[in-house]
Amino acid sequence: MNRFSYVRATDVAQAAREAGAPAAKIIAGGTNLVDLMKYDVERPGRLVDITRLPGLRAIEDAADGGLRIGALVTNTEVAYDRRVEARYPLLSSTILAGATPQLRNSATTGGNLLQRTRCYYFYDVGTPCNKREPGTGCPAIPGVNRIHAVLGASEHCIATHPSDMCVAMAALEAVVRVSGPGGERAIPFAEFHRLPGDAPERDTNLGRGEVVTAVELPARGFPAHYTYLKLRDRHSYAFALVSVAVGMEMDGGRIGEARFALGGVAHKPWRDPEAEAMLRGQAASRDLFERAAERTLRGAKGYGHNTFKIELARRAIVRALEQAAAGTPQSQVDKRIR
């Protein structure tokens, strides 16, 4: 860990200004950033502490029937918020599927969006890594890649985004509110995280000096037909190998609006609009779900250790769609898969 200076921002404008400096880094809960600093992966010259910023700690009803979650609201506060539980149980479920109570108590909504990949090489400065040091290569491709991407990867990077919460936000079509040198703007969730392409060092489309201030959830929350199915190497406290978040509306036996997003398989929560479109207006059936899963994974590519994820994702999609359609969401407490 390097030496750094520290400033506690008192308003968003100051935070943005401070964060705009080349070596500056925003710190919120610190659960990801401090780890990365200990590993010398992040070496910020200045930490901009945003935890005392006013106005970023609330969950508020929006005029359009949605919900606005301040960037500093902790993961625990979101997961157990009555309105979230009632109107967006999917979001609650994804958060509770992640990390541990201690971590969720510290982790913030903004920090969760911006947490970095868990790629083993990214974390180990003794190895090359294009994301950490552009141009040095990607040892994960020929190396240990059990937790790596099977969709949307590039020859430069096959890392995944590790968040559970973001998978729900992708399915819910949340909007990320940011404030920066160019003023305020809204980024649709699908455009917030990036695919690695030839610039894997950039995880998101957030600009330098931009601060996430809130995440807005549209009114549609899929409270009756949803699920979050997370498959991992142990039953708790492990990142997803594959996860699926589903939000559905059912009209009798027919599917109305339908969305599903995958976690653990790509550099961002993965949605496939064509696969979702196949579901709408159809009667729920295993056959239909299998075809939608097939469609989602049509371009999938494995790299050895992670190749099993393609088949696992296929099956997880089918199971998750079944759970959602039946209104029997996966419990995050009981470890039995529904």
Partner 1 sequence: MSPIPNAETHVGSPRSRVDGRAKVTGAARYSGEFTAPDLAHGYVVNSTVAKGRITRLDTAAALAAPGVLEVFTHENRPRTAWFSYNYQDEVGPPGSPFRPLYDDKVVYSGQPIALVVAETFEAARGAASLVRVSYEAEAHETDLKNRMDEAYEPPKKRTGISPPPKPRGDARGAYADAPVKVSGDYWAAYEHHNPMEPHATTVVWEGGGKLLVHDKNQGVLNAQSYIASVFGLGKGDVRVVTPFVGGGFGSGLRPQYQLFLAVMAALELRRSVRVVLTRDQMFTHVYRPNTFQTVRLGANPDGALRSIQQHAIAGTSQFEDHQEVVVNWAGTLYHCDNVELTYKLAKLDTYTPGDMRAPGAPLGLFATESAMDELACATGVDPVEIRLRNYTEKDENENKNFTSKELRACYQVGAERFGWSKRNPEPRSMREGRELIGWGMASGAWEAQMMKTSARATLTADGKLEVACATADIGTGTYTILTQIGADAFGLRMEDVTTKLGDTTLPYSPVQGGSWTAASAGTAVQLACEAVREKLFKHARKASGSPLADVKLDAVSFADGRIEVTADPSRFVRIADAMRAGGVDRLEAEETAKPSMIDQLRYTGYTHSAIFVEVRVDEELGAVRVTRVVDAVAAGKILNPKTARSQVVGGIVWGIGMALEEETMPDHNLGRFMNHNYAEYHVPVNADVQGIEVVFVDEHDTKVSPIGVKGLGEIGIVGTAAAIANAIHHATGKRVRDMPITIDKVLG
The distance of closest approach from Cβ of residue 159 to ligand SF4 in the complex, given in angstroms and rounded to an integer, is 4
Binding mask 9-48 for ligand FAD (x = CB under 6 A): ----------------xxxxxxxxx-x-------------
Residue 231 touches ligand SF4, criterion: CB under 6 A: no
Interface with partner 1 (CB under 8 A), residue from 45, 54, 55, 142: 142
Q: Find all residues with CB under 8 Å of 125, minimum gap 6, and list them.
A: 39, 40, 41, 132
Residue 144 touches partner 1, criterion: CB under 8 A: yes
Is the Cβ of residue 98 or residue 209 nearer to partner 1 in the bound state? Answer: 98
Amino acid at 90: L
The distance of closest approach from Cβ of residue 236 to partner 1 in the complex, given in angstroms and rounded to an integer, is 4
- The closest alpha carbon to 259, from 287, 218, 199, belongs to 218
Residue 189 touches ligand SF4, criterion: CB under 6 A: no
Residue 106 touches ligand FAD, criterion: CB under 6 A: yes
Is the Cβ of residue 167 or residue 266 nearer to ligand SF4 in the bound state? Answer: 266
122 makes contact, choosing from ligand SF4, ligand FAD, partner 1, none, with CB < 5 to 8 Å by partner type, with: ligand SF4
Binding mask 113-132 for ligand FAD (x = CB under 6 A): -xx-----------------
Q: Which of residues 46-105 bind ligand FAD (CB under 6 A)?
A: 50, 71, 98-99, 103
**Sheet bearing 24-27, strands edge to edge:** 5-8, 46-49, 24-27
In this structure, what token pair is assigned to residue 20?
A: 């705009």
Q: Which of residues 100-119 bind ligand SF4 (CB under 6 A)?
A: 117, 119
Side-chain-facing half-sphere of 103: CA atoms under 13 Å: 18
Calpha distance 233→118 (Å, rounded): 14
158 makes contact, choosing from ligand FAD, partner 1, ligand SF4, none, with CB < 5 to 8 Å by partner type, with: ligand SF4
Residue 73 touches ligand SF4, criterion: CB under 6 A: no
Calpha distance 222→5 (Å, rounded): 45
- The closest alpha carbon to 58, from 72, 46, 37, 42, belongs to 72
Is the Cβ of residue 32 or residue 154 nearer to ligand FAD in the bound state? Answer: 32
Binding mask 198-217 for ligand SF4 (x = CB under 6 A): --x-----------------
Is the Cβ of residue 279 or residue 316 nearer to partner 1 in the bound state? Answer: 316
Residue 121 touches partner 1, criterion: CB under 8 A: yes
Is the Cβ of residue 4 or residue 173 nearer to partner 1 in the bound state? Answer: 4
3-state secondary structure of 134: coil
Task: Give strand ranges (E) for the chain.
Answer: 5-8, 24-27, 46-49, 59-61, 67-70, 175-180, 183-188, 211-217, 225-231, 242-251, 254-263, 270-271
Which DSSP string corresponds to 228-287? Answer: EEEE-SSSSSS--SEEEEEEEEEETTEEEEEEEEEESSSSS-EE-HHHHHHHTTSBP-HH
Calpha distance 170→192 (Å, rounded): 10
Chain contacts with ligand SF4 (rule: CB under 6 A)? 117, 119, 121-122, 129-131, 138-140, 148, 157-159, 200
